[in-house]
Amino acid sequence: ETGVTQTPRHLVMGMTNKKSLKCEQHLGHNAMYWYKQSAKKPLELMFVYNFKEQTENNSVPSRFSPECPNSSHLFLHLHTLQPEDSALYLCASSLTGTANTEAFFGQGTRLTVV
Amino acid sequence: EDQVTQSPEALRLQEGESSSLNCSYTVSGLRGLFWYRQDPGKGPEFLFTLYSAGEEKEKERLKATLTKKESFLHITAPKPEDSATYLCAVPNSGGGADGLTFGKGTHLIIQP
């Protein structure tokens, strides 16, 4: 148990569907992150939230829409995805948004777009 | 642009056979280097943080070291349960941006 919980663990969706990924952290952290992990590629940072404010959008397509209602919860809303968006989506949190603190990851959501 | 390169991409060892994994990095001002372990289908598990050249940290059969250009993860007398992908990461250095830049990882297999 890492203290960062992601749901669902697996998701299959069609290209016209709308779905949401959820992340919750129980560590009292103030920064939360979304990463994408595709086969044979390093983890790619997507979004950063620090004290509920989005501080980084790493040129992510608009079909991915993040939401951070409070410091403990993070969502990733998905719509009209493409098959190449199939990947493991990982949520992480850290104590602060500065880089010198360790980030702890959830178990990920394995997304398949058909 | 920050870069992290890990080698080898894959490594197969016999149980008890010690070895080292390499992580070389290019950043404008290092603010820490992180090692993670990732098992198949799971999220990365934090192992170590190193902040300055010469620093070393140990955990069971693992020891991480840091120089000004690279970090090593030494595995001593590994066991099959040490099989995993080991990831190295550095904080992004682009104008206050947060988050980590990761290497592709080293896939380690320990055979009984």
Evaluate if residue B95 carries a pLDDT over 60.
Answer: no
pLDDT digits (tens, 9 = 90+) for B9-29: 999 999 999 999 999 999 888
Q: How far apart are CA A5 and CA A28, in angstroms?
A: 13
The predicted structure's pLDDT at residue A2 = 58
Which residues does A contribute to its contact with B (CB < 8 Å)? 2, 4, 6, 31, 33, 35, 40-43, 45, 48, 50, 55-56, 58, 88, 90, 92, 97-100, 102-108, 110
pLDDT exceeds 70 at position B5: yes
Rounded average pLDDT over A60-84: 95
Average pLDDT over every residue of B22-38: 92
Query: Tens digits of per-residue pLDDT, A32-69?
Result: 999 999 998 999 999 999 887 887 777 899 999 999 99
Q: Name the DSSP letter for residue B100.
A: E
